Structure 1
Amino acid sequence: MVRIAVLGAGRIGKIHAASVAANPKAKLVAVADPFGDAVRTVAEAHGADAMTDAMEAIARPDVDAVVIGTPTDTHVGLMTRAVELGKAVLCEKPIDLDIAESEKAAANVERLGGKVMLAFNRRFDTTFAEIRRSIDAGRIGEVRQVVISSRDPGMPPAAYVKSSGGIFRDMTIHDLDMARWLLGEEPVLVSAIGSRLVDAPLLEQYDDYDTVMVTLQTASGKQAVINNCREAVYGYDQRVEVLGSTGLLTHDNLRPTTMRLTTAEMTDAQEPLLNFFLERYAQAYRAEMNAFVDAIADGKPMPTTVRDGVLALRLAECAVESVRTGRAVTV
């Protein structure tokens, strides 16, 4: 039985706490968050201890592993302390908004031999995982192009934008990790463009964008294109296409049901897309937690690593520089 403390009782913390509680190989020992009312609600729902000090939760002798779902600027400190105490870690992305701090933290984890998994949950989505397996099985030959569309249903609150680190580090970073994973090679060249088409007055305050496109190229010439927008009025848009030398793999959006309605007024009408990431990736979050617990229980390598977090953030930094300079950036 892997005994786990979840750090953070916000929306991600709630998801992780429920995933731990549902895993038969794990026990949710504690939930820690400085906001007492919030942490008590989450902890009591799963029969865990409610704590307001994350460092104390990490240090508990009955905790084998921690899940970090706290604000980004706390990730490095909490992750480092957990590794120093020999605890396994599942940490939400990014490691830190600063690439130098992320590099330093990753090097420290590796030096200490820490077991740290970065929470790139989309790799654990049932269909995305099947796409990767199909690539590995040679079903489409050699990968040539990856196209990723990822659009949110609406702008986040101003307070979130202010602390997010910008769209490339906050939103695109998931797609940058997916591109690396599906290409099977590290990108060496990054080009990006960014626009403020949804809420220019807000985003100008923080030198951020709401609509971006990124192009990646590997040393062998493989390409990936990522398009993001903070507002898609039709719902949470998540699609992937992988072109190979002998075939094509695609993943379309998910809906509550696959029913289609055809009448005199409409043809093939469908229900709206799943509302947002909490609904769309519910299965992926559970599978991600199961993979984390299995890696600890079975002594296996973590399926994603702290180095994956660094590499994705480095690509995000290159995209920021490309928008700023108007030139392609070498990784």
Structure 2
Amino acid sequence: MKNIKIGLIGLGRIGLIHFNNLKYQIPYAEVVMVADPRHKEQFKGVVVGTAEELINHPEIDAVVICSPTNTHADYIDLCAAARKDIFCEKPHDLSLERVITTLETVKKAGVKLMLGFNRRFDANFKKIHELVNLRKIGEPTILKITSRDPGPPPLSYLKSSGGLFMDMSIHDFDMARFIMGKEVEKVYATAAVFTSDEVAEAGDVDTAVINLTFMDGSMAVIDNSRKASYGYDQRLEIFGSNGMAQADNNKHDSHLLVDQEGSHGALPLDFFMDRYEASYRLEMMAFIEALLKGEGLPVDGHDGLEAMLIAIAAKVSVDEKRPVLLKEIRNTIRIKAL
């Protein structure tokens, strides 16, 4: 079986994770070139070039985009023109209009585009998804997702992130669609600033509760915070007509101390790079396998678009203090079947 030859743009935190997985952990993947202005000529034995050189390299089959968000759509368009398949970290742009035009470009070019919603590949959440699909809990009616970071990012990041809903909650919006297997009809969100003056300075919020109503009337409740003093809090519970299923935090270890003062155990892992280390590898493996087998992608541009629509509706809900129907957001722009 031939190798899929990869070019990777951006060697920040996520880019380095994907680079190391592709180079050392994933069979049938070969990193041919990387592009990052902080590196010259070679990086860990791989040739460094410009993004344009990489995209147009005749040997490269697919491009992994891990550069800043404001470059994603331009690189996707260039990859489509060069007939390169694409893996892109979310979101692929902060403008709904630009997202739709790039999805149309990708579709017209006939190339594959996978979005980086790595939590779908986490073993805990994937198991819950399987249990729901096997009808082990009957018809799912209530989903609860807790997602809290250990601390807010720096002001420079907050100003360019697109806000809590587009940057952080968007993973939970995708997870809600993935676990429930249903589409969202209505969004109602409340939010505030509790953790950092820099969050308010950036015009953002750091704490939110989002209620989603699906087309069949079933519901999801998502709570987000930029600061959990005890670590990276990632939990999920789904309730159905025949039972319920839960996924708890991954912790530093599984010890339990019981004494006269009570029960004591380890804290949750520190941050997403620890908590989701395996899921990053598995999502990239799924991308490579889909290219090798000529199969459909497990997460595509449509999934990214749907999560983005929910994020926009949540922001409108907070600003206007009301429930927002997703069709309101769709009606603001021409959205074709993608």
Query: Which TM-score applies when normalising by structure 1?
Result: 0.95
Query: In the TM superposition, what whole-angstrom CA distance separates every residue of 1:86-125 from its partner, at most 9, and x where no partner exists?
Result: 1111100001011111111112212222200011000000
Q: Which residue of 2 aligns with 1:226?
A: 222
Q: Which residue of 2 aligns with 1:113?
A: 110
Give the superposition deviation at 1:28.
1.2
Provide the rounded CA distance (Å) in 1 between the counterparts of 2:15 and 2:209: 30
Provide the rounded CA distance (Å) in 2 between the counterparts of 1:78 and 1:289: 19
Q: Which of 92, 97, 100 pairs up with 1:103?
A: 100
Provide the rounded CA distance (Å) in 2 between the counterparts of 1:323 and 1:247: 33
Query: In the TM superposition, what whole-angstrom CA distance separates every residue of 1:152-197 from its partner, at most 9, and x where no partner exists?
Result: 0001111011111100000000000001111211111000011011
Give the superposition deviation at 1:262.
2.4
Can you give the 5+ residue segments of structure 1 that lack an aligned partner in the other structure?
none
Provide the rounded CA distance (Å) in 1 between the counterparts of 2:281 and 2:263: 32
Q: Which residue of 2 aligns with 1:27?
A: 30
**Mapped pair 1:277 → 2:280:** no
**Mapped pair 1:318 → 2:321:** no
Check conservation: 1:212, 1:227, Cα contact below 8 A.
yes
Q: Which of 28, 36, 54 pairs up with 1:57?
A: 54
Which secondary structure state, in structure 1, belongs to the residue aligned with residue 265 of structure 2? coil
Query: In the TM superposition, what whole-angstrom CA distance separates every residue of 1:5-52 from its partner, at most 9, and x where no partner exists?
Result: 111010001000011111111111122111126x95xx31xx32123x
Matches within 5 A, 1:1-331: 1-21=3-23, 22-36=25-39, 40=42, 43-44=43-44, 47-51=45-49, 53-199=50-196, 201-264=197-260, 266-331=261-326
Provide the rounded CA distance (Å) in 2 between the counterparts of 1:238 and 1:67: 26
Check conservation: 2:80, 2:105, Cα contact below 8 A.
no
**Aligned Cα root-mean-square deviation (Å):** 1.2
Provide the rounded CA distance (Å) in 1 between the counterparts of 2:96 and 2:155: 24
Give the superposition deviation at 1:203.
2.5
Query: Which TM-score applies when normalising by structure 2?
Result: 0.93
Give the superposition deviation at 1:268.
2.9
Check conservation: 2:155, 2:202, Cα contact below 8 A.
no
Provide the rounded CA distance (Å) in 2 between the counterparts of 1:232 and 1:56: 42
Which secondary structure state, in structure 2, belongs to the residue aligned with residue 36 of structure 1? coil
Provide the rounded CA distance (Å) in 1 between the counterparts of 2:107 and 2:185: 24
Letter in 2 for 1:152: D
Give the superposition deviation at 1:218.
1.2
Check conservation: 2:87, 2:116, Cα contact below 8 A.
yes
Which secondary structure state, in structure 2, belongs to the residue aligned with residue 291 of structure 1? helix
Give the superposition deviation at 1:259.
1.2
Check conservation: 1:152, 1:236, Cα contact below 8 A.
yes
Which secondary structure state, in structure 2, belongs to the residue aligned with residue 154 of structure 1? coil
Give the superposition deviation at 1:246.
0.3
Deviates more, 1:118-127 or 1:102-111: 102-111
Which secondary structure state, in structure 2, belongs to the residue aligned with residue 9 of structure 1? coil
Letter in 2 for 1:27: E
Can you give the 5+ residue segments of structure 2 that lack an aligned partner in the other structure?
327-338
Provide the rounded CA distance (Å) in 2 between the counterparts of 1:194 and 1:105: 31
Which secondary structure state, in structure 2, belongs to the residue aligned with residue 235 of structure 1? coil
Provide the rounded CA distance (Å) in 1 between the counterparts of 2:20 and 2:252: 21
Provide the rounded CA distance (Å) in 1 between the counterparts of 2:51 and 2:205: 33
Provide the rounded CA distance (Å) in 1 between the counterparts of 2:178 and 2:122: 13
Check conservation: 2:163, 2:204, Cα contact below 8 A.
yes
Letter in 1 for 2:153: P
Provide the rounded CA distance (Å) in 1 between the counterparts of 2:202 and 2:156: 11
Give the superposition deviation at 1:206.
2.7
Which secondary structure state, in structure 1, belongs to the residue aligned with residue 153 of structure 2? coil
Check conservation: 2:4, 2:62, Cα contact below 8 A.
yes
